[in-house]
Structure 1
Amino acid sequence: MTRVNDQHTRLSSDLRSALQIIDGDIVQAVQALKETKPDPQPDLERRLINLIKELGHYKRVHDKGDSENFEYPFRRGERQVNDVFKAIFPELAPPPAKSRTKTLMILNINTQSHFETFALGPYQFPRLLNGLWQLSSSSWGSGSDKRQEEELIRLVQSGFTAADMADHYGDAELVYANFRNRLSPSVRSQVLAATKWCVFTPPAKPLTSLFVLEKVKERYRRLGGRVELLQFDWYDYSCKDYLNILLELVRLTAIYPDLVSTIGLCNFDSEHTVEVCEYLIAKTGSVGIVSNQVQFSLIDSRPLQLMVNVCAKYGLKLLTYGSLCGGLLSAKWLGQAAPDIYSETLQLTPSQRKYHDMIMSWGTWQDFQSLLYELSAIADEHRVTLTNIATRWILQQPSVGALIVGTRLGVSSHVDDNLATFGFTLNAWDLDRIEALALGISRGKTRRLFSKLGDCGTEYRNEN
């Protein structure tokens, strides 16, 4: 009898996992459809309506069955399909259904005395942000709606009350909106959303004030409420339309503060960050923007060349990503041979393949191992993890407001490890040992990488 029960439990677990993967695949497929910006054709309308109907049919069958013990598996996919239908066929989308009143979650945010925050506009943001870019691909795994919510609860209760996402991170905005809008008002007001408007190709519509407002409203709609920080990413500096767009965005923060509160940049280099700030000062009398999100780590220290001084001059804060190199800056890789980045057995994530290339641009795999060994030794002295040391180094750099930590919602959790980052400070001897290996003698590695790749974000631009 025990064997039968064990087999049933294993079968149920395997089935849940399979359905969870399908749910994630629906999310990604619909996201891919949305990014093609399809025309609202009758055939597409029919196909989406049929998919919505099939998901609804499955939901009704599920609710009549063992719904208490078996979570409805397609909640994320259903939400994503409904959202894309609303975006493509706004005139056909039904009005929001009068859902049953949900019990609001009352959470206690228990921050420790050494928990670190910083001012960004009118808000206090934690110095570690929950990065939701893993929701942009199922390569990082797919968490169920329930498990994602459980992890968000744990993060917020521990003080990690802000998340970074973007318009192209799968269903990240919808996941965060669903969670945030179930919180009691007193807690909800403390849970902050930083998202992005990323322009990767020439806009198809004239760049009018109304166009900009519509784009902001789209982020507001997806988040189900105010955007505390909207970060703007632009594809080509030779097209100067970004200046007027940013001017309009800054104006919107004054006109509609409950729609969008503050504006930041994303992947802007130093020269064009200065250009933006000077343009806004000339037009409005103030800098207007509050931040720039850039790649910054012990491996990619290019911001130290120019960006940190630009930010200091204009009062901007850096929000950093890639600071742990997709998990390569961790004890897991200490003493390991250089990976075959396309190995089917190793199965590196897209981020790890990207940052492996960055390591090879910075130095050799042996150089990287030497850095890991030194970080490990310093970690032992502080009784923390190697990752804590790599994170702490970033937080102690000039102009850095926060580091964005990838959060694999519903798949894994590193809350306690992240909290340990705030419990110590690297001293001058620690910094000298780290920087001798990471930055090189007289910051030679930093300068060479800057010369090879260009300033922050250059690798993402479609420049001729």
Structure 2
Amino acid sequence: MEPTITLDGGLTVPKLGYGTWRLWGQDAYDGVRTALDVGYRHVDTAQGYDNEAEVGRAIADSDVDRDEVFLTTKLKPSNAAAADVRRSTEQSLRDLGVDRVDLLLLHWPAEDHAPLEETMQAMTALVEDGLTRAIGVSNFPSAMLRRAYEFAPLVTDQVEHHPYLAVDAIEEVLREHGGFVTAYSPIARGEVADDPTLTEIADAHDVTATQVTLRWLIQKPGTVAIPKSGNPERIRTNFDVFGFELSDEEMARIRALDRGHRLVAPADGPDWD
């Protein structure tokens, strides 16, 4: 059975989600349909992915009831001003074909567009008005995350996280507030597949290094992973990680692979931990 995180207030978040970055048009639609057919019940999109309509249509066309799907979308940084937070979220809901999302994130720090307090308060108002069940941020380093918590009841920080990139400082802030990490690029864009340590552990469980990596992430307390693939077979194998368990020693060996290897580091990004 797929593990979940249950937050204060009863919101339940599946620990393994389906990411849709760089999936467009029919590929986005087909990917989400396959993911839901396989068993995923957590789907992640964003205004900046230009695929909300396809994601929403795939959910509507599936045999899975909307209430069973945990749906996340993200605000573009350019929509960080209070009026744009509401306007663009309403447009996202129309594009997705839903009355509300389960989680709304600010995709990147955006204080060149609006003060953080303004954005966080506007997002909080959307929870109060029923447009989203919860809010969070994405790509926030720990100091900025801690400041965001001064203004809003966040539940997650979606950041790059995989065996080669630990996020200890972010995890500490989230633990203090009862939140969780959402790990994007969880398999380091495929780099984990040939890792000797991961392969050795995988052989012991008769699985792949990629499956070991995803199992490691979802086995960590307070961590959600959202692998992305447009390949139907990989979508299936990425979800097939619930039939084995890693030992404490194996978990530690994977944790020791951290070398601060960051794959997503745009020039205008924040100062990372």
Instruction: State the shift of 1:166 in Å.
Output: 0.9
Offset of residue 212 of structure 1: 2.7
- Residue 198 of structure 2 contacts residue 213 of structure 2 at CA under 8 Å; is this kept in 1? yes
Please tell me whether residue 407 in structure 1 is matched to residue 215 in structure 2.
Answer: no
- Of 211, 219, 240, the residue aligned with 2:92 is 219
| 2:41 matched residue in structure 1 | 161
* Residue in structure 2 matching 1:173, options 39, 52, 58: 52
Partner residue, 1:292: 157
Secondary structure at the aligned position of 1:319 is classed as strand
Asked if residue 267 in structure 1 is aligned to residue 155 in structure 2, the reply is no
Q: Percent identity?
A: 23
Q: How far off is 1:407 after superposition?
A: 2.7
Give the drift of 1:462. 6.7
Higher relative contact order at CA 8 Å, sep ≥6: structure 1 or structure 2? Answer: 2
Corresponding residue of 1:119: 6
Question: Hey, which of these two has a bigger chunk of helix by percent?
Answer: 1
Which secondary structure state, in structure 2, belongs to the residue aligned with residue 134 of structure 1? coil
Give the aligned length. 268
CA contact (8 A) 2:211 2:240 kept: yes
Pairing 1:271-420 to 2, within 5 Å after superposition: 271-280=143-152, 288-301=153-166, 303-304=167-168, 306-330=169-193, 334=194, 372-400=195-223, 402-408=224-230, 411-420=231-240
Separation (CA, whole Å) in 1 of partners of 2:37 and 2:45: 20
Give the counterpart letter for 1:431 in structure 2. M
Task: Give the 5 Å matches for 1:2-13.
Answer: none
Deviation of 1:144 (Å): 5.7
User: Judging changes above 3 Å, is the alpha-carbon distance between structure 1 residues 211 and 387 closer, same or farther for their aligned structure 2 residues?
Assistant: closer
Relative to structure 1, the CA distance from residue 144 to residue 294 in structure 2 (aligned partners, 3 Å threshold; closer, same or farther) is: closer
Assess, with a 3 A threshold, how the Cα gap between structure 1 residues 435 and 182 changes in structure 2: closer, same or farther.
closer
- Please state if 1:231 is matched with 2:51: no
Whether the 8 Å contact between 2:71 and 2:103 is mirrored in structure 1 is yes
Equivalent position of 2:120 in the other structure: 246
Decide whether the 8 Å contact of 2:137 with 2:156 is kept in 1.
yes
- Shift in Å, 1:458: 8.2
The alignment's TM-score, normalised by the length of structure 1, stands at 0.53
**One-letter code aligned to 2:158:** Q
TM-score by length of 2: 0.86
Distance 1:394 1:244 in 2: 33
Deviation at 1:234, TM superposition (A): 3.9
Partner secondary structure for residue 145 of structure 2: helix
Contact 2:109 2:139 in 1 (8 A): no
Instruction: Report the CA distance shift for 1:294/1:418 in structure 2 as closer, same or farther (over 3 A).
Output: same
1:193 matched to which residue of 2?
71
Q: Which of these two proteins has the greater Rg computed from alpha carbons?
A: 1
Q: Where does structure 2 lack aligned partners over 5 or more consecutive residues?
A: none
Query: Which stretches in structure 1 are left out of the alignment for 5+ residues?
Result: 1-113, 137-141, 281-287, 335-371, 440-444
8 Å contact 1:293–1:318 — kept in the other structure?
A: yes
- Paired letter, 1:232: L
Q: For residues 216 and 270 of structure 2, what CA distance do their matches in structure 1 show? A: 32
Residues 268 and 457 of structure 1 are in contact (CA less than 8 Å); yes or no, is this contact kept in structure 2? no
Q: How many angstroms does 1:236 deviate by?
A: 4.7
